[in-house]
Amino acid sequence: MRKERVGDMDQKEKEGRLIEIVNEAKLVIQKTENYDENVQEKVEVLKRILCENIQEDDEGISRRKGQV
């Protein structure tokens, strides 16, 4: 995972990084389907965070909710 300061990025870089993070989160969710209860609880938290903050447009592009 690369470390970049969000304040140093322009809007296009922020969107790109958001897409990377969302895709990584979806991969984690997919790969942890059969793990123990403790892991499943954390995966549920991750799903809630994504659901509350991310929306996908018709083309499947992830964006922060409230952004055009």
Please determine, for residue 68, whether its predicted confidence score (pLDDT) is greater than 70.
no
Calculate mean pLDDT across residues 14-39: 88
Calculate mean pLDDT across residues 4-27: 83
Torsion sign across C-alpha atoms 28, 33, 36, 39: positive
Coil, helix or strand for 19?
helix
Average pLDDT, the chain: 82
* 46's tokens: 């991750």
User: CA 53 to CA 5: how far, in whole Å?
Assistant: 20
Calculate mean pLDDT across residues 8-30: 86
pLDDT given for residue 10 in this prediction: 84
